[in-house]
């Protein structure tokens, strides 16, 4: 990989900014002893004049002070932005639902604009009836709601060979988690009829998008009939074009590339198509040169989102909230442990809510920070008993060339100053 980008550490910048704010607060505190905080003792403009009227922004965006909470890309990763990826600012978010506007994007031929009126969904192949649905047709089927994470198989992929990118957004930001509304894929398949397909055990579906990349993936029928949905709403509103408006496929727990956007065709087949994205890409090469294919499930994984390189500690010692996200493609998260000493000792974190299947889980560890440096790690466990492995464990099985499916334990070196850096530890 050619490295063409050189820049100042975001950690340093975030830290300096935070430190300046803290210094300001101290000065204010000094003045407060004499005369009181002017933010309180003096009438502020917002407490005297008008704010914006209703309809100022018919569809609201975050306030300008939050304008750094945005998707970012890493220019040197791809040749252009049309077939590229950017990253969710997970270091700055809380809770579990990712707002659509900052949920990462991955396109193979750009985000297309496909109107509902122009939308058609074809079902063909080994079905009793080859059918065409309009968008309006889809809205008439019984609907389901589901919260699911979508993780790109390449999330954390740049870290296989060593600590490389300095920020949770860049190391773990190819993920988002939304509440989807749509139609169960099973409902649609049954509408077309599966009698002709015969024994469903060895049958597949091939799903394909309407954009110029014609991204397509083969999915075993068992998964297709299990929990997949054709979603048209996310977090209550229409999908954004970058996420596949008007209809995308949701494949819970499985790698993001299979969640076909702008889905236009479902073909029932007796074998996988072996398309580009399931042979030349999204296959995991092991140390001996053989490669794993059909590595669909995203294994249990977690990361501390704050403190982290883009979210340093700026308040000094004392009460500190350590927080992060955990998820598993094999079911619900049962437990998350946090280590502050690089994995020598671990403490069980508090889950904000019990883990849900194939959805993000938020965890917290509330500590009294003594100001000494920490090697912060988190370790997820899911309902199958699987424990998130270390990078050393993963490398022992897979070598360094896998690119995809890196679910290793991440380490942030939090220094006495509160700054944090992406490191690897023994």
Partner 1 sequence: MLKYLNSLTAITLATMAIATAADAGPFGLGRAATSDEVAAWNLDVRPDGSGLPVGAGNVEDGDVLFADNCASCHGDFAEGRGNWPKLAGGVDTLDHDDPLKTVGSYWPYLSTTWDYVNRSMPFGNAQSLSADEVYAVVAYILYSNDMVEDDFILSNETFLDVEMRNADGFIIDDRAETEYAQFSAAPCMENCKAEVEITMRALVLDVTPEEEDAEAAAQEQSAPVSKTKAEAPAAAAPVVVPVQESALDPGLVAEGAKVFKKCKACHQVGEGAKNKTGPLLNGIAGRAVGTIEGFRYSKSFQELSAEGAVWDDAALAAFLAKPKAYAPKTKMSFAGLKKDSDIAAMIAYLKSVSP
Output the smallest distance, CB 35 to partner 1, in A.
27
Helix (H) or strand (E) holding 147: strand 144-151
Determine the 3-state secondary structure of 377 from DSSP. strand
Binding mask 147-186 for partner 1 (x = CB under 8 A): --------------xxxxxxx--x----------------
- What is the rounded CA–CA span in Å between residue 77 and residue 358? 28
* Residue 248 engages partner 1 in binding (rule: CB under 8 A): no
* Residue 331 engages partner 1 in binding (rule: CB under 8 A): no
* Ramachandran assignment for 158, one of left (phi > 0), alpha (psi -120 to 50 degrees), beta (any other): alpha
* Residue 263 engages partner 1 in binding (rule: CB under 8 A): no
Output the smallest distance, CB 135 to partner 1, in A.
9
Whether 183 contacts 143, CB under 8 Å:
yes
Output the smallest distance, CB 111 to partner 1, in A.
10
Cα dihedral 150, 247, 74, 284 sign:
positive
Output the smallest distance, CB 34 to partner 1, in A.
28
Output the smallest distance, CB 77 to partner 1, in A.
8
* Residue 206 engages partner 1 in binding (rule: CB under 8 A): yes
* Residue 7 engages partner 1 in binding (rule: CB under 8 A): yes
Task: Pick between residue 11 and residue 177 the one whose CB is nearest to partner 1.
Answer: 11
Whether 410 contacts 171, CB under 8 Å:
yes
Looking only at residues 284 through 323 of this chain, which bind partner 1 when binding is defined by CB under 8 A? 285, 287-297, 299, 309-310
Looking only at residues 388 through 417 of this chain, which bind partner 1 when binding is defined by CB under 8 A? 388-389, 393, 397, 400-401, 413
Smallest CA-to-CA distance from 419 within 5, 13, 7, 8 is with 13
Task: Pick between residue 31 and residue 400 the one whose CB is nearest to partner 1.
Answer: 400
Measured torsion, CA atoms of residues 41, 46, 50, 51, in degrees rounded to the nearest 10: -160
* Residue 24 engages partner 1 in binding (rule: CB under 8 A): no
Smallest CA-to-CA distance from 410 within 303, 279, 290 is with 303
- What is the rounded CA–CA span in Å between residue 333 and residue 301? 9
* Residue 137 engages partner 1 in binding (rule: CB under 8 A): yes
Output the smallest distance, CB 228 to partner 1, in A.
18
Task: Pick between residue 33 and residue 344 the one whose CB is nearest to partner 1.
Answer: 344
The stretch among 58-66, 144-152, 226-234, 251-259 that binds partner 1 (CB under 8 A) is 58-66
Output the smallest distance, CB 52 to partner 1, in A.
13
Task: Pick between residue 31 and residue 347 the one whose CB is nearest to partner 1.
Answer: 347
Smallest CA-to-CA distance from 84 within 100, 71, 73 is with 73
The stretch among 94-102, 238-246, 336-344, 350-358 that binds partner 1 (CB under 8 A) is 336-344
* Residue 104 engages partner 1 in binding (rule: CB under 8 A): no
Backbone phi, then psi, for 124, in 5-degree steps?
-140, -175
The stretch among 93-101, 246-254, 274-282, 360-368 that binds partner 1 (CB under 8 A) is 274-282
Backbone phi, then psi, for 357, in 5-degree steps?
-60, 130
* Residue 78 engages partner 1 in binding (rule: CB under 8 A): yes
Among 22, 32, 74, 112, binds partner 1 (CB under 8 A): 74
* Residue 199 engages partner 1 in binding (rule: CB under 8 A): no
**List of long-range contacts for 12-17, beta carbons under 8 Å, 24+ apart:** 12/419, 14/309, 14/310, 14/311, 14/312, 15/312, 15/314, 15/417, 15/418, 15/419
The stretch among 26-34, 37-45, 219-227, 342-350 that binds partner 1 (CB under 8 A) is 342-350
Backbone phi, then psi, for 334, in 5-degree steps?
-100, -35
Whether 208 contacts 225, CB under 8 Å:
no
Q: Name the one residue in this structure whose structure tokens are 């509440």.
A: 179
Whether 283 contacts 231, CB under 8 Å:
no
Backbone phi, then psi, for 84, in 5-degree steps?
-160, -170
Among 106, 107, 261, 264, binds partner 1 (CB under 8 A): 264
Looking only at residues 217 through 236 of this chain, which bind partner 1 when binding is defined by CB under 8 A? none
* Residue 9 engages partner 1 in binding (rule: CB under 8 A): yes
Among 68, 202, 222, 416, binds partner 1 (CB under 8 A): 68
Cα dist from 40 to 29, 30, 107, 219, whole Å: 12, 14, 49, 61
Task: Pick between residue 121 and residue 150 the one whose CB is nearest to partner 1.
Answer: 121
Task: Pick between residue 6 and residue 33 the one whose CB is nearest to partner 1.
Answer: 6
Among 19, 32, 73, 415, binds partner 1 (CB under 8 A): 73
* Residue 57 engages partner 1 in binding (rule: CB under 8 A): no
């Amino acid at each position: 990989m050619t490295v063409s980008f050189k820049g100042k550490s975001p950690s340093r910048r975030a830290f300096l900014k935070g430190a300046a704010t803290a210094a300001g607060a101290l000065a204010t505190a000094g003045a407060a002893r004499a005369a009181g905080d002017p933010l309180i003792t003096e009438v502020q403009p917002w407490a005297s004049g008008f704010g914006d009227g209703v309809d100022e922004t018919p569809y609201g965006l975050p306030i300008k002070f939050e304008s750094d909470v945005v998707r970012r890309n890493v220019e040197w990763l791809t040749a252009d932005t049309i077939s590229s990826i950017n990253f969710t600012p997970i270091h700055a978010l809380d809770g579990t639902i990712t707002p659509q506007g900052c949920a990462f994007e991955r396109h193979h031929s750009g985000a297309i604009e496909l109107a509902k009126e122009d939308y058609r969904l074809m079902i063909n192949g080994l079905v009793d009836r080859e059918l065409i649905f309009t968008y309006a047709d889809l809205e008439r089927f019984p609907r389901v709601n589901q919260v699911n994470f979508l993780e790109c198989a390449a999330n954390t992929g740049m870290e296989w060979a060593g600590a490389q990118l300095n920020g949770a957004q860049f190391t773990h930001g190819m993920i988002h988690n939304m509440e989807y509304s749509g139609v169960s894929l099973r409902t649609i398949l049954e509408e077309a009829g599966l009698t002709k397909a015969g024994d469903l055990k060895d049958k597949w579906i091939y799903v394909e998008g309407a954009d110029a990349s014609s991204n397509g993936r083969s999915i075993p029928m068992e998964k297709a009939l299990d929990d997949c949905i054709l979603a048209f709403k996310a977090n209550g509103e229409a999908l954004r074009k970058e996420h596949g408006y008007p209809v995308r496929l949701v494949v819970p727990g499985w790698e993001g590339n299979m969640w076909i956007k702008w889905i236009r065709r479902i073909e029932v087949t007796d074998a996988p198509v072996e398309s580009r994205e399931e042979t030349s890409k999204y296959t995991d090469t092991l140390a001996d040169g053989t490669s794993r294919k059909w590595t669909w499930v995203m294994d249990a994984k977690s990361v501390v989102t704050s403190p982290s390189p883009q979210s340093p500690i700026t308040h000094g010692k004392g009460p500190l909230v350590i927080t992060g996200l955990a998820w598993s493609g094999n079911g619900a998260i049962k437990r998350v442990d946090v280590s502050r000493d690089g994995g020598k000792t671990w403490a069980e974190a508090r889950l904000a809510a019990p883990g849900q299947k194939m959805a993000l889980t938020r965890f917290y560890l509330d500590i009294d920070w003594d100001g000494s440096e920490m090697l912060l790690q988190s370790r997820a466990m899911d309902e199958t008993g699987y424990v998130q492995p270390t990078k050393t464990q993963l490398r022992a099985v897979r070598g360094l060339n896998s690119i995809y499916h890196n679910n290793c334990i991440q380490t942030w070196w939090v220094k006495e100053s509160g700054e944090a850096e992406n490191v690897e530890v023994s």
